[in-house]
Amino acid sequence: YTLLQNHPNPFDEATVFAVRVERPISHREAFIVVLDLQGKELARLPITLNQGINEVVYDYQHHRYVPGTYAYSLVVDGQVLETKQMVYAY
């Protein structure tokens, strides 16, 4: 699995998280977790992982963040596989 950079970045209202899957691997659950830079979980978004590009839209309106840098991680079956950063620029 490859976690791609969110787009757009920076974002203001919504952004898209994408995961590239070269070869599907059996798994029970997968999600994108959004964290502040202190490691506090702010959102957890389920994502389906099929071969190809898999996307999930993150809508800021459900969360009240201050502008700044946040982290997001791909978690599969309880293991963090990759983490990237994004900028919320309200």
The CATH number assigned to the domain holding 83 equals: 2.60.40.1930
Q: Which residues of the chain have pLDDT under 70?
A: 61-63
pLDDT for res 83: 98
- CB under 8 Å to 11, separation ≥6 — which residues? 60, 86, 87, 88, 89
- Indicate whether this model's pTM tops 0.85: yes
Residue range(s) defining the domain that contains residue 19: 2-88
Give the count of domains, the chain.
1
| Token duo for residue 5 | 């950079």
| Token duo for residue 3 | 């976690």
